[in-house]
Amino acid sequence: MIAMPARRALISGITGQDGSYLAEWLLGKGYEVHGVVRRVAIEDPEHRLTRLDPIRGQIKLHAASLESYASIHQVVAQVMPDECYHLAAQSFVSYSFDDEFSTLNANINGTHYLLAAVKNIVPGCRFYFAGSSEMFGKADEVPQNERTRFHPRSTYGISKVAGFDLTRNYREAYGMHASSGILFNHESPRRGFEFVTRKITAGVARIAADKSKELRLGNLDAKRDWGHAREYVQAMWLMLQQAEPDDYVIATGATHTVREFAELAFAHAGLDYRDYVAPDPDLFRPAEVNILQGDASKARKKLGWEHRIGFETLVREMVEADCRALGVEPRARASAG
Ligand code: G4F
């Protein structure tokens, strides 16, 4: 019997939280996994490639910049992928208020370059675009589904709406198998420290280890629908296994405030968040989104995707990982999740 060649996947943003989980998932499925990374990352593996440490020998990294069509074209021509997952972006919403121009440039052009390169070189390649619940922004309904009107409230959200529209247009105009996931917040111990969940769990660990005395946070009443990133990348893969391309909301359907996240995270280390969390008005955003709560019933029905990891389990896993990294035992209250 002749062995089938392994399917080839190309991931932009492979060094990030989602990229690293997706690479592991695809390797487990027998894919040959390639990643697009910035040259500085290849030159500084100790700091920039840490999330890929366990699989470093099993993947192939290609230096390219999403700001250069020529370099993207070259990587796509070299890899000739069967599936392309476009996760790379300036993804920190807060930063998009500080540098609107670079967020729009990187996120919109990067998506456009990759879509165009795939269309020109490997038009049969299946394409995934990482959309975001930030596209709903000032949503006029709760929960949000695939038919909810977009009303982004940051240049980050605007750039994601543009990427979503580009992806849909390549699907409709050129017949590409191009799908978008509208992912709500998804976290894990691999989350970047700039995002509120990891900022909190890393802060808890530092306080538990006597390395810090307070944690400054912005809007504690902001609500999010938080799931686990490890499960969300599986939905990306499922979208590309469908006969027809489409767009899907991926969410848990449950929302919690930043305050609730902090309360639970501190409690898991036997601490009361009110003794440590200091409000900082500088950390409030010029414009906040409304309640973001996703309705993933289409993904459940068509992809058979469902989240399993609950809020408490997620918080506990993150606190424990950060505490372990600093050599402290979280003095957990008995809690389930
Ligand atoms: O953790 P955040 O920075 O995530 P945000 O803005 O919801 O965006 C994340 O999820 C989106 C949906 O998947 C992605 F598209 C996006 O790329 C990113 O991954 O902030 C969450 C909430 C906000 O309402 C913010 O105002 O937490 C509030 N918050 C309160 N104090 C804080 C802080 N956020 C941060 N980053 N830092 C704070 O000190």
Query: For the ranges 34-43, 68-77, 115-124, 125-134, which has the lowest average pLDDT?
Result: 34-43
pLDDT in tens, 70-100: 999 999 999 999 999 999 999 888 888 888 9
Residue whose CA is at the smallest distance from ligand 1 atom 16 = 91
d(CA 67, CA 155): 17
Q: 193 and 143 in contact (C-beta within 8 Å)? A: no
pTM: 0.96
Query: Residue 223 Cα, ligand 1 centroid: separation in angstroms?
Result: 10
Query: For the ranges 64-78, 122-136, 282-296, which has the lowest average pLDDT?
Result: 282-296
Over 60: is that where the pLDDT of 334 sits? no
Over 90: is that where the pLDDT of 330 sits? no
Query: Residue 229 Cα, ligand 1 centroid: separation in angstroms?
Result: 15
Mutate to test the pocket of ligand 1, among 18, 184, 196 (most ligand atoms within 8 A of CB): 196
Share of the chain above pLDDT 70, in %: 98
Mutate to test the pocket of ligand 1, among 133, 180, 185, 256 (most ligand atoms within 8 A of CB): 185
Which of 71, 132, 159, 180 is catalytic? The answer is 132
Pairs from 65-68 (Cβ < 8 Å, separation ≥ 24): 65/38, 65/39, 66/12, 66/36, 66/106, 66/109, 66/110, 66/113, 66/114, 67/105, 67/106, 67/109, 67/110, 68/113
Q: What is the 3 state secondary structure string of 13-63?
A: CCCCHHHHHHHHHHHHCCCEEEEEECHHHHHCHHHHCHHHHHHHHHEEEEE
Would you call 156 a catalytic residue per the annotation?
A: yes
| pLDDT value at residue 168 | 98
d(CA 169, CA 180): 12
Residue whose CA is at the smallest distance from ligand 1 atom 3 = 195
The owner of tokens 């035992």 is 329
CA distances (Å), origin 249, targets 127, 185, 200, 276? 16, 11, 26, 36
| pLDDT value at residue 332 | 54
Query: For the ranges 39-43, 81-85, 131-135, 302-306, which has the lowest average pLDDT?
Result: 39-43
Over 80: is that where the pLDDT of 336 sits? no
d(CA 284, CA 267): 24
Would you call 297 a catalytic residue per the annotation?
A: no
State the chain's mean pLDDT as an integer: 95
pLDDT in tens, 171-225: 999 999 999 999 999 999 999 999 999 999 999 999 999 999 999 999 999 999 9
State in Å, rounded, how far the first CA of the chain is from the last one: 47
H/E stretch holding 130 reads strand 126-132
- For 304: left if phi > 0, alpha if psi spans -120 to 50, otherwise beta; the answer is left
Query: Residue 171 Cα, ligand 1 centroid: separation in angstroms?
Result: 30
- State the closest ligand 1 atom to the C-alpha of 186, by its place in the atom list counted from 1: 13
Written as one letter, the residue type at 167 is T
d(CA 187, CA 335): 20
Over 80: is that where the pLDDT of 335 sits? no
Would you call 132 a catalytic residue per the annotation?
A: yes
Asked if the bond preceding 143 is cis, omega within 30° of 0, the reply is yes
